[in-house]
Amino acid sequence: MSKNISAVKKLSRNLWWSWDTEAKTLFKSLSPLLWERVNHNPVELLRHISTDELEARCSCELGITIDRVNRRFNDYMAETKTWATEHAPQVVSNPVAYFSAEFGIHESIRIYSGGLGILSGDHLKSASDLGINFIGISLFYKEGYFRQFLNHDGWQIEDYPLQYPESLPVEKVTTIDGKDLIIEITIAQSTVFAQAWSLKVGRATLYLLDTNIPVNESHYREICSRVYGGDQNMRINQEILLGIGGVKLLEALKIQPSVYHMNEGHSAFLTLELLAREIAAGATLEEAKNLVKEQCVFTTHTPVPAGHDRFSRDMMQYTFFRYLNLVGIDFEEIMKLGSDNPENTSGLFTMTVLALRLSRCANGVSKLHGEVSREMWKHLYSTDDTRQVPIGHITNGIHTRSWSSGFTEQFWKNHAESIEELFLSRESAEAVLSRVSDSELWCLRYRLKRNLMDYISRYLSNQLYHQHQYTSYKSTDSSRSVKSALSPDVLTLGFARRFATYKRAPLIFQDLDRLNAIVNNANMPVQIIFAGKAHPHDDAGKEYIRQIVEHSRRPQFVGKVVFLENYNIGVAKRLISGVDIWLNNPVRPMEASGTSGQKTVLHGGLNLSIIDGWWCEAYNGTNGWSIGSGEENGNYDEQYRFDAGKLYEVLEHQIIPTFYERNEHNLPVRWLKNIRNAIATIAPVYNTDRMVREYTMRYYLKEPRP
């Protein structure tokens, strides 16, 4: 194998390429068509190209690029002076072990469902960039999260294509003598075996546990089938594998973390295995609790009581009895740790409660969510004074390099040393912006919108083809044809995320006549793009999808409202770079943070959101728009009507006129000013480099600062 081919293969096996534009372009240029077909997966791409072809192309036309990318990759991996070596050597010598039920790293690795996973993936990438010794732990879901299709009626159909290790950049974890590393965990009366896979994400490693091996009983093999699949029993088994299995894996690998970070309560059972370890070393239960607490930090993501993972006492007893006997912990003591009131252990066991009780510090994911969490959990600390509740906040961000399109990155590079200058600090962002003219900025917007409109047009023709496949009867309805060509001249709104009902995707359709007048105003038209998956068990969420699809087929909305099926990281990247307005209208305060709106900013997109999550602290009146001013009614229907009214108002009176107001050079000067303000105030703050630095200084280093 030539040196160049092995370099390309090596690059394909570290996800570093996913945030390096030149590396991405390199893979794509091998075969643009195949690149699309394999869902931008270089491992799969290289499996489909013959060595002869690779040999010919790598030795000649691509040689220089390969050399350059490879050199940058090697330099990155070998860097010895990083932010972490300078500021936090403790997390260089001993790794941070970060547990999460999902990781969204790239669209080709389908082990995520939504925002929580994207956050984990972005956290991992920034930790790598900052030089933190960082290990992620999750599960290898063979079917991943589903692929979404829409049938003729707009109803969501789920499909679960398998993902195979040989198509992914994963390596099986082996022992020193080359055997598969197998760990054992106890679930109910059974011993369950798990192997592990590792995935390189820059300098960080993600380990994925996998019970899908022949020695296991079939229902335990299925633990690793689907992200958040199955019933409560499946859920608790997944969480045991993640938490307890994860700790056992680290032990088998002789890895001594400096801290265990539980990203959401799913992994909180890890504390039980840590307790067991301390007790085995001679500690009493009380001592063990304190020792475990010293090692753990916890991030909560759920601002509503109903959203927290809870298990019945019976299920806990059935599932843990044997395990607890083996490790010598009294079942009652464990129930106390997970019960809201330790005096009464007959009720539900709550993962968040366990995590809060056994962490040295905990945080919500935005300022507002911190407040909501302190209120929600104050009873655990026997206080009415929320200032006494030891839950802080660190606001979520995004891994900016991953979320900037190649074109956007090139644009900023024409005005700066690197795109980093835009998210380093407000001052450096403003300096870059001062070198960009309004017409250049507007040109960027048009270019990105044109890309998006072309993409959507291809995407929809594909989608209609699928819809016919899933159609029970043939339709000749003319509105079903691809008349829905969107225009880059038109003010474009995007709404895409999980279709959890609290996010209220159909809010903008509350008054169809008013919406009709808005989108079909001949001088100032508007178009709206929707996408998103409902959880397979969430019929209310699926009904929201169906309603939007139905609206999109009404004569007045054809060509103005579209729904793109199968929302995922790849689709997200397209949407956030092309839309003018990223719309977010959850029920406040149910959006703990939200991050998708942060992704649009460097592309010149603007946010329009309920004052909730990150927007509550980022919105300043000149960097986007708000829907209302944070009113909370408590009655879903009343709030719905109220917020819809506020949404129409801000569109009609502020957003639309600002967008269509042009100066003598046909530039929307006030709009562009908003874009500049958004970039300067949002990009430098709402990124995971800042976020991970905060986690490190305030939570990972031993002395937590409140």
Ligand X SMILES: *Cc1c(COP(=O)(O)O)cnc(C)c1O
Considering the complex, what minimum distance in angstroms separates the CB of residue 114 from ligand X?
Answer: 4
> In the chain, what is the greatest distance between 2 CA atoms, to the nearest angstrom?
80
CB–CB of 351/308 below 8 Å?
yes
Q: What DSSP string runs through 431-474?
A: HHHHTS-HHHHHHHHHHHHHHHHHHHHHHHHHHHHHHHHT-SS-
For 2, what's the count of Cα atoms within 13 Å in the CB-facing half-sphere?
A: 17
Complex with ligand X: residue 197 or 567, whichever CB lies closer: 567
- Burial grade of 550 (CB within 10 A; 0-12, 13-18, 19 or more): middle
Stretch that binds ligand X, among 7-15, 84-92, 110-118, 333-341 (CB under 6 A): 110-118
Torsion over CA: 610, 612, 614, 620 (sign): positive
Complex with ligand X: residue 170 or 572, whichever CB lies closer: 572
Considering the complex, what minimum distance in angstroms separates the CB of residue 567 from ligand X?
Answer: 6
Complex with ligand X: residue 243 or 589, whichever CB lies closer: 589
CB–CB of 126/688 below 8 Å?
yes
Cα separation, 223 vs 211, in Å, equals 7
Complex with ligand X: residue 114 or 303, whichever CB lies closer: 114
325 SS3 class: helix
Stretch that binds ligand X, among 8-16, 114-122, 147-155, 249-257 (CB under 6 A): 114-122
Cα separation, 383 vs 348, in Å, equals 22
State which of positions 122-181 bind ligand X (CB under 6 A).
Answer: none
Stretch that binds ligand X, among 111-119, 366-374, 539-547, 553-561 (CB under 6 A): 111-119
Cα separation, 92 vs 131, in Å, equals 7
CB–CB of 705/697 below 8 Å?
yes
CB–CB of 19/125 below 8 Å?
yes
Using CB under 6 A as the binding criterion, the count of chain residues that bind ligand X stands at: 12
540 SS3 class: helix
Nearest-Å Rg of the Cα atoms of the chain is 25
Complex with ligand X: residue 114 or 488, whichever CB lies closer: 114
- Could you identify the residue written with the tokens 């790293």? 105
Among 42, 95, 114, 370, binds ligand X (CB under 6 A): 114
Cα separation, 244 vs 186, in Å, equals 9
Considering the complex, what minimum distance in angstroms separates the CB of residue 614 from ligand X?
Answer: 9
CB–CB of 495/529 below 8 Å?
yes
CB–CB of 679/545 below 8 Å?
no
Is residue 647 involved in binding ligand X (CB under 6 A)?
A: no
Stretch that binds ligand X, among 34-42, 77-85, 181-189, 588-596 (CB under 6 A): 588-596
- Burial grade of 156 (CB within 10 A; 0-12, 13-18, 19 or more): buried
Complex with ligand X: residue 259 or 571, whichever CB lies closer: 571
Complex with ligand X: residue 372 or 569, whichever CB lies closer: 569
Per-residue contact string for residues 261-300; x = within reach of ligand X by CB under 6 A? ----------------------------------------
Task: Give the closest residue to 391 by CA, choosing from 381, 399, 382, 400.
Answer: 381
Considering the complex, what minimum distance in angstroms separates the CB of residue 528 from ligand X?
Answer: 16
C-alpha angle with apex 578: 574 to 580, nearest 5 degrees? 140
DSSP annotation of 586 reads: P
**Phi first, then psi: what are they for 613, rounded to 5°?**
55, -140
State which of positions 546-565 bind ligand X (CB under 6 A).
Answer: none
Considering the complex, what minimum distance in angstroms separates the CB of residue 443 from ligand X?
Answer: 26
State which of positions 402-441 bind ligand X (CB under 6 A).
Answer: none
Q: Which residues have C-beta within 8 Å of that of residue 666, sequence separation ≥ 6?
A: none
- Give the residue ranges of DSSP H helices in 502-564: 512-519, 539-553
Complex with ligand X: residue 617 or 652, whichever CB lies closer: 617
Is residue 115 involved in binding ligand X (CB under 6 A)?
A: yes
626 SS3 class: strand
Is residue 70 involved in binding ligand X (CB under 6 A)?
A: no
Complex with ligand X: residue 246 or 364, whichever CB lies closer: 364
Among 395, 568, 577, 658, binds ligand X (CB under 6 A): 568
Stretch that binds ligand X, among 113-121, 144-152, 300-308, 469-477 (CB under 6 A): 113-121
CB–CB of 139/111 below 8 Å?
yes
Stretch that binds ligand X, among 87-95, 511-519, 594-602, 671-679 (CB under 6 A): 594-602
Considering the complex, what minimum distance in angstroms separates the CB of residue 596 from ligand X?
Answer: 3
- Burial grade of 214 (CB within 10 A; 0-12, 13-18, 19 or more): exposed
Complex with ligand X: residue 359 or 396, whichever CB lies closer: 396
DSSP annotation of 145 reads: S
Complex with ligand X: residue 289 or 542, whichever CB lies closer: 542
**Phi first, then psi: what are they for 624, rounded to 5°?**
145, -160
Is residue 595 involved in binding ligand X (CB under 6 A)?
A: yes
DSSP annotation of 18 reads: G
Complex with ligand X: residue 114 or 202, whichever CB lies closer: 114
Cα separation, 120 vs 332, in Å, equals 33
Considering the complex, what minimum distance in angstroms separates the CB of residue 600 from ligand X?
Answer: 10
Considering the complex, what minimum distance in angstroms separates the CB of residue 19 from ligand X?
Answer: 14
Q: How many CB atoms are located within 10 Å of the residue 553 CB?
A: 16
Complex with ligand X: residue 509 or 686, whichever CB lies closer: 686
Considering the complex, what minimum distance in angstroms separates the CB of residue 572 from ligand X?
Answer: 3
Considering the complex, what minimum distance in angstroms separates the CB of residue 307 from ligand X?
Answer: 14
Task: Give the closest residue to 538 by CA, choosing from 312, 310, 306.
Answer: 306
CB–CB of 561/527 below 8 Å?
yes
Stretch that binds ligand X, among 293-301, 357-365, 589-597, 633-641 (CB under 6 A): 589-597
State which of positions 441-500 bind ligand X (CB under 6 A).
Answer: 497
Considering the complex, what minimum distance in angstroms separates the CB of residue 15 from ligand X?
Answer: 16
Considering the complex, what minimum distance in angstroms separates the CB of residue 368 from ligand X?
Answer: 14
Complex with ligand X: residue 24 or 336, whichever CB lies closer: 24
Complex with ligand X: residue 247 or 608, whichever CB lies closer: 608
Among 58, 249, 569, 672, binds ligand X (CB under 6 A): 569
State which of positions 309-338 bind ligand X (CB under 6 A).
Answer: none
Considering the complex, what minimum distance in angstroms separates the CB of residue 385 from ligand X?
Answer: 31
Is residue 594 involved in binding ligand X (CB under 6 A)?
A: yes
Among 118, 288, 561, 651, binds ligand X (CB under 6 A): 118
Complex with ligand X: residue 188 or 534, whichever CB lies closer: 534
CB–CB of 161/143 below 8 Å?
yes
Q: Which residues have C-beta within 8 Å of that of residue 604, sequence separation ≥ 6?
A: 441, 444, 445, 448, 675, 679
Q: Which residues pair with 172 in a beta bridge?
A: 197
Complex with ligand X: residue 107 or 171, whichever CB lies closer: 107
Stretch that binds ligand X, among 24-32, 269-277, 516-524, 566-574 (CB under 6 A): 566-574
Considering the complex, what minimum distance in angstroms separates the CB of residue 119 from ligand X?
Answer: 8
Considering the complex, what minimum distance in angstroms separates the CB of residue 520 from ligand X?
Answer: 28
Which residues would be at the binding site for ligand X (CB under 6 A)?
114-115, 118, 497, 567-569, 572, 594-596, 599
